[in-house]
Amino acid sequence: MPAKEWSPIRIKRNAILSAWLLSLLPLASCSGAGESGEPVQLTFWTTTSPAETTFFRNRIDAFMEDHPGIQVRIEQHEFPFATNEFKTAVLGDQSVDVFRADNTWIPEYAELEILYPLDELSPASRFGGYVPSAMEPLRYRNRLYGLPSVLEVPALLYNKRMLSEAGFQAPPATMDELLAMAKKLTGSSRYGMFVTEDSYYALPYLWAFGGGMITEEGKIEIASEDSRRALAFMVRLREEGVTQPYADFTDWYNRMVGDFADGRSAMIMNGPWAIGDIRSTGGQFRNNDYLGIAPMPKGPKGQGSPIGGHSLVINKYSAHPNESLELIAYLTDSETQVRQSLAFKTLPTQTAAYADKRLAQDKIVQGFKKQLDTAKARPALPEGSALFRDFTHNLSAILLGKVSVEEGTRNIEADWKDLLD
């Protein structure tokens, strides 16, 4: 961001931060375990589900067999609370070496200087096998702060049967085609496209029309003509009656999944995390080949989908950063990625995993892989989560017709200026 005058609030925040960091100096300088010949002890905090945690335990057991000098203790933490627990642990005197973090948390951690830069531990060549777009969210101010464990990228999910019956042999490739096909797919008991108020799902529209949220340098783009044109297109989808027939966005995720699974909607935008929910409903995608996956449609000025996921990071004050790097490299290598994808339909973060014979014919994994070619990272800012909260609140008002696109984007811009200042 451009240089700013130092406000009392910013001075106070940095003073508090400095005090926290100074209190950690004894922790940072303590001698590492293993000097007496005993195995190094690592603590790994994960935010996974119980089933995924069991998977990690099994892989960690295999890691310890290959690395007899390292012992790893795994702890499961609830996702919503884990980020504050991790910051408290690092800025206190609790033992944690490796943490599974949501990618949106990493810029804040890097700003707080509580993560170990991996490029201080190993040359960049060691990280060349990862999907390039998976690494983008893990860089902050030209430093690498984690290794990607799970990739998340929404794509266009569509009902092959419904499109075929309407005379379409392929999904829409452009936003104009999306609108035209949605019109033809809308009838008395079905509609063409689900549109949500969640601003995360608005990014493909923004990028298709050449708009954006905010640059990493702090330039706000949400009120630009291109961004307004994108949001106006979303409004047009609703005004033309080709989206869900509900008065508001109450329980939108379950409605989206339920309508799509039951054949009431022909197309939705969602990620690999939704596949299990779609198939578990008992709808028409459980045991047949009706589910189609395609990249987000192009617009007049671009194409893209937000890439996200979870990554493994190292506590800046770990006494064993090198051993921690060995652990996170093992838990994100190609073999682990293939096994993880087979078990949970997650997207691998290693390029070689997609060519592995165990995944090469997997229609779900390979379908989402096509979207990775046009995936884009979200703004890498410590205030990232708050930006989306303001965006979603105002986007809801825009889509429900409570404010105009122009007024709504001005409101978002004003909220973001206050937040960033």
State how far the Cα of 27 lies from the Cα of 54, in Å rounded to an integer.
30
Radius of gyration in angstroms for the set of CA atoms belonging to the chain, rounded to a whole number: 23
Q: Is 415 helix (H, G, I), strand (E, B) or coil?
A: helix
Q: Do domains 8-152+308-377 and 155-306+379-420 have the same CATH topology?
A: yes
Nearest to 107 by CA among 153, 132, 150, 142: 142
Can you tell me which residue has the tokens 């303001």? 390
CATH superfamily of 155-306+379-420: Periplasmic binding protein-like II (3.40.190.10)
Give Cα 74 distance to the centre of its chain.
Answer: 23
Could you give the C-alpha distances from 159 to 113, 285, 403, in angstroms and in order? 46, 9, 33
Token pair of 69 as six digits = 């000098």
Q: State phi, psi for 148 to the nearest 5 degrees.
A: -75, 130
Q: Is 129 helix (H, G, I), strand (E, B) or coil?
A: coil
- Render pLDDT for 92-127 as a digit per residue (tens, 0 to 9): 878 899 999 999 999 999 999 999 999 999 998 999
Determine the average pLDDT of the residues in 238-265. 96
Nearest to 353 by CA among 148, 157, 55, 123: 148
List all residues 6 or more positions away from 362 whose beta carbon is below 8 Å from its beta carbon.
341
The pLDDT-based confidence of 217 (bands split at 50, 70, 90) is confident
Q: Considering Cα of 332, then 338, then 343, then 344, what sign does the dihedral take?
A: positive
Q: Considering Cα of 211, then 213, then 215, then 217, what sign does the dihedral take?
A: positive
Could you give the C-alpha distances from 19 to 56, 240, 256, 420, in angstroms and in order? 35, 57, 47, 23
- Render pLDDT for 19-62 as a digit per residue (tens, 0 to 9): 444 444 433 333 334 555 789 999 999 999 999 999 999 999 99
Q: For the chain, which residues make up each domain, given as ranges? A: 8-152+308-377, 155-306+379-420
Q: Which pLDDT score, from 0 to 100, does residue 34 have?
A: 52
State how far the Cα of 276 lies from the Cα of 274, in Å rounded to an integer.
6
Determine the average pLDDT of the residues in 157-186. 97
Determine the average pLDDT of the residues in 335-347. 94
Exposed e or buried b per residue across 340-365, where buried means at least 16 C-beta atoms within 10 angstroms of its C-beta: bbeebbbbbbbbebbebeebeebebb
List all residues 6 or more positions away from 355 whose beta carbon is below 8 Å from its beta carbon.
none
- State the CB neighbour count (10 A cutoff) for residue 79: 14
State how far the Cα of 378 lies from the Cα of 184, in Å rounded to an integer.
33
CATH superfamily of 8-152+308-377: Periplasmic binding protein-like II (3.40.190.10)
Q: Which pLDDT score, from 0 to 100, does residue 21 have?
A: 44
- Render pLDDT for 59-73 as a digit per residue (tens, 0 to 9): 999 999 999 999 999
The segment with the largest mean pLDDT, out of 214-218, 286-290, 347-351, is: 347-351
The answer on pLDDT for 243 being more than 60 is yes
Q: Which pLDDT score, from 0 to 100, does residue 36 have?
A: 59
State how far the Cα of 201 lies from the Cα of 193, in Å rounded to an integer.
13
State how far the Cα of 142 lies from the Cα of 107, in Å rounded to an integer.
12
The answer on pLDDT for 260 being more than 80 is yes
More confident residue, 377 or 37: 377
What are the start-end ranges of the E strands in 271-406? 291-294, 305-314, 375-377
The answer on pLDDT for 363 being more than 50 is yes
Check: pTM over 0.75? Answer yes or no: yes
More confident residue, 371 or 281: 371
Determine the average pLDDT of the residues in 171-194. 97
- For residues 412 and 223, the answer to whether their CB atoms sit within 8 Å is yes
- For residues 253 and 247, the answer to whether their CB atoms sit within 8 Å is no
State how far the Cα of 419 lies from the Cα of 421, in Å rounded to an integer.
6
State how far the Cα of 418 lies from the Cα of 121, in Å rounded to an integer.
38
Quick one: which H or E segment has residue 159? Answer: strand 155-159
